[in-house]
Amino acid sequence: METMTNTMIHTKTAPEVIKVSANSRSTAVAGAIAGVVRESGRADVQAIGAGAVNQAIKAAAIARGYLLLDGINVIIIPSFSDVDIDGSERTAVRLAVEPR
């Protein structure tokens, strides 16, 4: 008689969105992005406004370098997202950071 064994399937949970402001340090955000990618397999970054988008893009580029040192090659996929902030709708830039 053949017996079946239970195998545990490891599913990665969707990480929280990393929110970036114009005052965020790009190296600190890069470390957060790299950590989330290592832990969850991908990261989502959100920025509203030109200064925040600038910091988010720099952080994504720095994080890509950090992850390459670990043998993880990632791509950054930009998109727009509508966000409600205090009853006001704003357009955010979203960056999906995921392995190639």
In a domain, 39, yes or no: yes
Within a domain: 79 = yes
In-domain check, residue 44: yes
> Does residue 2 form part of some domain?
no
Order of all β-strands in the sheet with 88-99: 17-20, 43-47, 88-99, 74-85
pLDDT for 16 equals 86
Instruction: State the pLDDT confidence band at 12, using cuts at 50, 70 and 90.
Output: low
Extract the tokens encoding 72.
Answer: 């993880």
Q: Tell whether 31 is covered by a domain.
A: yes
What CATH number has the domain bearing residue 48? Answer: 3.30.110.20
Note whether 98 and 74 are within 8 A (CB): yes
Tokens (6 digits) for 50: 């030109």
* Helix extents (H) in 1-100: 26-40, 50-69
The structure's pTM equals 0.83
Range of the domain at 30: 17-99
Render pLDDT for 39-73 as a digit per residue (tens, 0 to 9): 999 999 999 999 999 999 999 999 999 999 999 99
Which residue type occupies 12? K
- 33, 18 in Cβ contact below 8 A? yes
Tell me, yes or no, whether 85 lies in a domain.
yes
How many domains does one find in the chain? 1
Q: Does residue 41 sit within a domain?
A: yes
Residue 12 lies in a domain: no
